[in-house]
Amino acid sequence: MDILLHPTYFPSISHFVAMAKAESITFEMEDNFQKQTNRNRMYIYSPNGIQLLNIPVKHPKEAHQKTRDVRLETAFDWQKQHFKSLEAAYRTSPFFEYYEDTIAPIFTKKHTFLMDLNYETIEVISKCLGFRFEQQKTIEYFHEADGFTDFRGLVNGKKDTNSFEPYTQVFEEKNGYLNNLSILDLLFNEGRFALDYLKNQTL
pTM to 2 decimal places: 0.96
DSSP bridge pairs for 45: 50
Instruction: Determine what percent of the chain falls in helix, strand and coil, rounding each to the nearest 5.
Output: 40, 15, 40
- pLDDT band of 126, cuts 50, 70, 90: very high
142-188 residue pLDDT tens? 899 899 999 999 999 888 999 999 999 999 999 999 999 999 999 99
Mean pLDDT of 74-95: 96
Does the pLDDT value for residue 43 go beyond 80?
A: yes
| The pLDDT value given to residue 74 | 86
Quick check: helix, strand or coil at residue 41?
A: strand
Nearest partner of 194 among 131, 132, 129, judged by Cα: 129
Does the pLDDT value for residue 133 go beyond 90?
A: no
DSSP letter at 72?
A: B
